[in-house]
Chains A and B, each alone.
Chain A
């Protein structure tokens, strides 16, 4: 039997993989190493609404250059709609229009923001104070009392704003504040009171950036104009803290609505985001070379799918680790690819929390499963009972962790519950048949494999390579095929068969 076709396939896979990776490196200037490039955020906004069988106009506020971020490119996708960009002193807007639309509608806007710490916001003009509608009685006295109290305890606009926020949104909240909150949302109320006191303030919307997040919404922030410094400073309306978090992108700063839809109902806008590293110049070029056939890259997918792929593309790395450990080392695991799924959960939970959570869940599960075996149940029913037990254990741990203030404990919900249930079932049978020693060997082997797979999959360089170079998948495939052809000894066999070689010496 000739092995030639096999080696041809492996060679071809290697060739394709290397060629595709080199092509991407040369053509798109994607570096081999992460970190030496600029960080770019890709943000995608999806607008959903139901059109009411008639003309529709959709106004969406757009982000501009600002401190920390620079707009690189923007794209929209909206079949059949007319599109115009508007810019005025309050900011930029995209306006979609259509004469006749009915049913569920989806509009897309995506923007690439370059992270540049030296970017400054554009020149800030001192705005005119917007006139505030007067309060009705008894709200007017409540409002003026709140303003007076905060005014007395502050020295300038910034401290005044902080005091006011704390009066309305913290434990210090009093009757006056509670009364006014029946009339307005907290952020809107703070802005209205600030304006009433003659302080220039507005409500803005920002997006907290976190890699791979999907279906996010904007959060509300308050800007107060500092007369002396002639700049806007930003306040968190919940805590009163001043200053902009590094990962906050201000989406709308004109004090206007983010999304306005005329002729539609149930409108909402959600955001997905993803970060990657590339040269700023390549980022621009990428935009223009979108349509070439050779640009076979997941980066042409919508952002939401890209975020999903970032994880999916790591699974072959985990599989390679498993194949390596089983074929070359001879580690015993419980369930062939169970360790990869556990490693994926570790990525969400972080290693230490994941390990502790895994051990606690499996240990508790084994105790309860031990009791279940006395009940003499059919297999499917018993495994189902174990699944419910696992869910119960996870719920209890989550609640306990939350009560104790351990936010890390909340992430145990990321464990694949059905896989855990089968692991418990298998370990329990192993315990009955072969004793606790085998459970320790196989459980330990599984955990070791999971930890190694986690370390490989969580490595920033590995993440960078697998996400940016699809050709690497071909190389991984070739490596796994080669390992599947290995007929030599496993590392642990050098120990297992040691006694045979001994006697040759003595006899």
Chain B
């Protein structure tokens, strides 16, 4: 009966407070995310524009391409930018995102070192417009943003990609957070199921709790060899406030916010997700259930700062990576 070893009992998952897909869909997404608000987060361009209105920093917009005719002029739009990111406005799961780190003699170089011609870029944009990456294949808009110069302190924790921070915001309270580090196995992408390392973060401090790759515990980055125990996200409080503020901005009760840390501009909102995945429970080694239950008992209409303080007080945890937790003084 060796194959049974890979399975567990529903009662044990329930004891751990793990939330399954069905519960997430019915109890949280179905109840707290009104359908009419979805377009706001499913369209990255709309998210960006509304974020600017609410004073939430996002990567700078270089331009958009909305027609196949406009594809021919993309060359002009890109000139003068050393690095940029092209993404479909309605893409999902990181599909169709093209990162160009450097431009040399009309050759566009991806983080992996592969070089693309302007025709390759045009074809990619044309594919985006025809809806190849959008939900349901509907026609789409290509959004071009400046490349994020991510914070050096996190440089050692990532291989070829930008590490991003996912914070689950429930009714405006940040309930759980993790960092996704791209690896060689994940091909520079920050998708956990492709082999990126997920690091659970302490809501109180932004320090690493535990690392997970392919659902198994891991203690250092597999490519850079850097110890995960020393990972602390700088400007953690600002980041939490930014994430929590997305609740007022979108009105969505159960929200996944993806943030990055820019060298110059600090925490930035990359995108929002109205259907955030459940892998964050694996990286934190803890189910969402208890935290969500606690938040559901809280009254509405509490200001952002109080919500963040509440979450930091109630959801603080000890790291599983270090013996002596000395991270309490690093909240910046």
A376 touches which of B20, B21, B126, B131 (Cβ 8 Å): B126
Cβ of A2 to closest chain B Cβ, rounded Å? 13
Is there contact, CB below 8 Å, between B6 and A504? no
Please state if B282 and A487 are interface contacts (CB–CB under 8 Å).
no
For B137, give the chain A residue with the smallest CB separation.
A379
Question: With A486-B22, A490-B21 in contact, is A501–B8 under 8 Å at CB?
Answer: yes
Given A497-B282, A498-B7, A498-B8, are A488 and B130 neighbors across the interface (CB < 8 Å)?
no
Say how far B306's CB is from chain A's closest CB, in angstroms: 27
Say how far A87's CB is from chain B's closest CB, in angstroms.
64
B27: CB under 8 A from chain A? yes
**A371: shortest Cβ distance to chain B, in Å?**
15
> B22 near A501 (CB under 8 angstroms)?
no
Whether A433 lies near B95 (C-beta < 8 A) is: yes
Q: Is the CB of B285 within 8 A of A503?
A: yes
Q: Do B26 and A487 touch (CB < 8 A)?
A: yes
Whether B21 pairs with A488 at a CB distance below 8 angstroms is: no
Interface membership of A327, Cβ < 8 A: yes
B22 pairs with A500, CB closer than 8 A: no
Tell me how many residue pairs across A and B have CB atoms closer than 8 Å. Answer: 79
* Residues of chain B with a CB closer than 8 A to A489's CB: 10, 13, 18, 20, 22
Is the pair A485, B130 in contact by a Cβ cutoff of 8 Å? no
Task: State whether the Cβ of B9 lies closer than 8 Å to any Cβ in chain A.
Answer: yes
B 123-166 binary contact with A (CB < 8 Å = 1; else 0): 10011001110000100000000000000000000000000000
A contact residues around B102 at 8 Å (CB) = none
Assembly CA distance A239 to B225 (angstroms): 81
Chain B residues near A485 (CB, 8 Å)? 26
User: What residues of A have a CB within 8 angstroms of the CB of B287 in the complex?
Assistant: 500
Interface string of A256-285 (1 = CB under 8 A from B): 000000000000000000000000000000
The answer to whether B217 touches A497 (Cβ under 8 A) is: no
B194 contacts the other chain (CB 8 A): yes
Bound Cα distance from A376 to B120, whole angstroms: 10
Alpha-carbon gap, A487 to B28, bound state (A): 11
Instruction: Kindly state the separation between the CA atoms of A278 and B225 in the bound complex, as whole angstroms.
Output: 75
- A500:B18 contact, CB within 8 angstroms: yes
- Asked if B13 contacts A497 (CB within 8 A), the reply is yes
Q: Is A500 within 8 A of B281, CB to CB?
A: yes
Please determine whether A496 and B26 come into contact, CB atoms closer than 8 angstroms.
Answer: no
Name the interface residues of B3-21: CB closer than 8 Å to any CB of A: 6-10, 12-13, 16, 18, 20-21
Q: A494, B9: Cβ atoms under 8 Å? A: yes
Residue of A nearest to B215 (CB): A499
The yes or no answer to B264 lying at the interface (CB within 8 A) is no
| Chain B residues closer than 8 Å to A434, beta-carbon distance | 194
B23 touches A (CB below 8 Å): yes
Closest to B20 in A: A489
In the assembled complex, how far is the CB of residue A267 from the closest CB belonging to chain B, in whole angstroms?
A: 50
With a cutoff of 8 Å between Cβ atoms, the chain B residues found around residue A380 in the complex are 130
Q: Which of B68, B126, B132 has the most CB of A within 10 A?
A: B132
CB of B254, distance to nearest CB on chain A (Å): 14
Contact present for A493 and B21 (CB under 8 Å): yes
A446–B304 Cα distance when bound, in Å, is 45
Residues of B within 8 A of A403 (CB): none
- Given known contacts A495-B6, A497-B282, is B23 in contact with A488 (CB within 8 Å)? yes
Chain B stretch 181-195: residues in CB contact (< 8 A) with chain A: 194
Asked if A330 is at the interface of the complex by the 8 Å CB criterion, the answer is yes
A501 CB contact (under 8 Å) in B16, B131, B132, B216: B16
C-alpha spacing A227/B281, complex, angstroms: 89
Q: A485 — nearest CB in chain B belongs to which residue?
A: B26
Tell me how far the C-beta of B281 lies from the nearest C-beta in chain A, rounded to whole angstroms: 7
Q: Closest approach, in angstroms, between the C-beta of A187 and any C-beta of chain B?
A: 56
Contact between chains at A494 and B22 (CB < 8 Å): no
Q: How far is the CA of A236 from the CA of B9 in the complex (A)?
A: 66
- A429 contacts across to B, CB distance below 8 A: 132
- Whether the pair A488, B10 counts as a contact (CB closer than 8 A) is yes
Distance in angstroms from A372 CB to nearest chain B CB is: 13
Q: A84 on the interface (CB 8 Å rule)? A: no
- Whether A330 contacts B8 by the Cβ 8 Å rule is no
Q: Quote the shortest CB–CB distance from A25 to chain B (angstroms).
A: 35
Residues of chain A contacted by B285 (CB below 8 angstroms): 500, 503
Instruction: For the complex, give the distance between the alpha carbons of A1 and B285 in Å.
Output: 31
Is A487 a contact of B22 with CB atoms below 8 Å? yes
Q: Mark B60-80, 1 if CB is under 8 A from A, else 0.
A: 000000001000000000000
Q: Which residue of A lies closest to B21 (CB)?
A: A490
B-side contacts of A495, CB under 8 Å:
6-8
What CA separation (Å) do A501 and B216 show in the bound complex? 12
CB of A378 closer than 8 Å to a CB of B: yes
Q: Could you give, for residues 406-446 of chain A, a 1 whenever the CB lies within 8 Å of some chain B CB and a 0 otherwise?
A: 00000000000000000000000100011000000000000
Partner of A494, one of B10, B137, B215: B10
Query: What chain A residues lie within 8 Å of B22 (beta carbons)?
Result: 327, 486-490
A504 touching B16 in the complex, CB below 8 Å, given contacts A433-B95, A499-B215 = yes
B282 touches A500 (CB 8 A): yes
Complex Cα distance, B10 from A280, in Å, reads: 52
Q: Among the listed A379, A493, A500, A501, which residue makes an inter-chain contact with B20, where contact means beta carbons less than 8 Å apart?
A: A493
| A219 shortest CB reach to chain B, Å | 49
- Given A376-B123, A487-B23, A487-B26, are A494 and B217 also a contact pair (CB < 8 Å)? no
Given known pairs A379-B137, A494-B7, A495-B6, the reply for A500 and B216 (CB within 8 Å) is no
- Which of A327, A488, A500 has the largest count of B CB atoms less than 10 A from its CB? A500
Whole-angstrom distance between the alpha carbons of A113 and B130 in the complex? Answer: 58
Determine the distance from Cα of A429 to Cα of B12 in the docked complex, in whole angstroms.
38
Within 8 A of B (CB), among A112-141: none
Q: A499 touching B216 by the CB < 8 A rule?
A: yes
Chain A's nearest CB lies how many Å from the CB of B262?
27
Chain A residues, CB < 8 A from B132 = 379, 429
User: Are A497's CB and B130's CB within 8 A?
Assistant: no
Which chain A residue has the least Cβ–Cβ distance from B214? Answer: A499
From A1, A379, A495, residue with most partner B Cβ within 10 Å: A379
Known contacts: A487-B23, A503-B285. The answer to whether A379 contacts B7 by CB under 8 A is no
Docked complex Cα distance between A488 and B25 (Å): 11
Instruction: Provide the bound-state CA to CA distance between A479 and B285, in Å.
Output: 35
Least CB separation from A328: chain B residue? B22
Minimal beta-carbon separation of A3 from chain B (angstroms): 11
> For residue B8, which residues in chain A have a CB less than 8 angstroms away from its CB?
494-495, 497-498, 501
Quick one: CB contact mask for A359-394 with B, threshold 8 Å, 1 for yes? 000000000000000001011100000000000000
Beta-carbon contacts under 8 Å, A469-507 to B: 485-490, 493-501, 503-504, 507
Question: Residues on B close to A: CB < 8 A?
Answer: 6-10, 12-13, 16, 18, 20-23, 26-27, 31, 68, 95, 123, 126-127, 130-132, 137, 194, 212, 215-217, 281-282, 285-287, 320
- List, sorted by A's number, 13 A–B pairs whose CB atoms are closer than 8 Å: A379-B132, A379-B137, A487-B23, A487-B27, A488-B10, A490-B22, A497-B8, A497-B281, A499-B212, A499-B217, A500-B287, A501-B12, A504-B16
Which residues of chain A have a CB within 8 Å of any CB of chain B? 1, 327, 330, 376, 378-380, 429, 433-434, 485-490, 493-501, 503-504, 507
Q: Report the 9 A-B pairs with minimum CB-CB distance, sorted nearest first.
A: A379-B130, A487-B23, A489-B20, A498-B8, A501-B12, A378-B130, A501-B8, A493-B20, A376-B123
18 additional contacts, CB 8 Å, given A493-B21, A500-B18?
A: A330-B21, A379-B132, A433-B95, A486-B22, A487-B20, A487-B23, A488-B10, A489-B10, A489-B13, A494-B7, A494-B10, A495-B6, A495-B8, A497-B8, A497-B18, A498-B6, A503-B217, A504-B16
